Amino acid sequence: MSRGFFITFEGLDGSGKSTQLKLLARSLRASGHAVTTTRQPGGTELGDQVRALLLNSKTRYVAPLAEMALMFADRAQSIQQIIAPALAQGHIVLCDRFTDSTEAYQGGGRGLGSERVLAMHRAVCGDLWPDLTLLLLPDLDASLARARRRNVRQQTQDADENRFEAEERAFYERVYSQYREIAARDVLRVVTIADDAPVDVIEKRIEKIVEERRLLRSR
């Protein structure tokens, strides 16, 4: 059995990445593909505990290095428990965030730098990288506004994942800038969708990108 195809979705909260992941999964399954979806942090029992700790606004202070280490602990578990087995079975794996998020948020936003993040990735993740990364990077202010509106709705449902959204704009400017640097550095892997087109337009664009990349790899 041939190895599966690993796709990650990246971007700020409010960029639409999680919505687009769900739409792509639905489309691929309707076409008869075996699809595994997951998210980071989360997706495993350990990962869900890490997510609850790191995203909850009641978690007042986490040292940047500790935050990065917890993200990679979640990632190592996800690779071992979900991603690697699914790829070995020939599945298309769709993951909401991966190491690019850590480089953007902890490397850029927290100021740890890319080198530390990438060294940790090599050590902890066996240097596993996606076959394709879809980076949704619309206007910064629009993304932040959508994320904060969503979190207000979640709070009414007793869900609190607002810790990062409480950061000041300067933090998100650094994250945004780091995402752009990642995309410029890895132009073969990362496809950036920077406009704020309607959901269905982005959906069709992503479907075309994925089809082209999978066909290219199969040649």
Kindly give the residue spans of alpha helices, DSSP state H, lying in 31-81. Answer: 45-55, 64-78
Per-residue confidence in pLDDT tens, the chain, 219 aa: 678 999 999 999 889 999 999 999 999 999 999 999 999 999 999 999 999 999 988 888 899 999 999 999 999 999 999 999 999 999 999 999 999 999 999 999 999 999 999 999 999 999 999 999 999 999 888 878 877 776 655 555 556 777 887 788 999 999 999 999 999 999 999 999 998 899 999 999 999 999 999 877 765
Give CA–CA dist 68/89, Å, rounded. Answer: 30
Give me the pLDDT at residue 101, please: 98
Could you check whether the bond before residue 41 is cis, i.e. omega within 30 degrees of 0? yes
Quick one: pLDDT at residue 134?
98
> φ and ψ at 92, to 5 degrees?
-85, 120
Report residue 195: phi and psi, to 5°.
Answer: -90, 170
Q: What is the pLDDT of residue 174?
A: 97
User: What integer pLDDT is reported at residue 60 of this predicted model?
Assistant: 84
Answer for the pair 175, 97: CB distance below 8 angstroms, yes or no.
Answer: no
**What pLDDT shows up at residue 164?**
83
Spatial separation of the C-alpha atoms in residues 141 and 166, rounded to whole Å: 14
How confident is the model at residue 214, as a pLDDT? 86
pLDDT recorded at residue 155: 53
Q: Which residues contact 65 (CB under 8 A, 6 or more apart)?
A: 112
- Confidence (pTM): 0.92
Output the pLDDT for position 2: 79
Q: What is the pLDDT of residue 152?
A: 58
Full set of structural domains in the chain with CATH: 5-218 (3.40.50.300)
Find out whether 133 and 101 touch, Cβ atoms under 8 Å: no
pLDDT for 46: 97
Query: In 3-state terms, what secondary structure has residue 191?
Result: strand
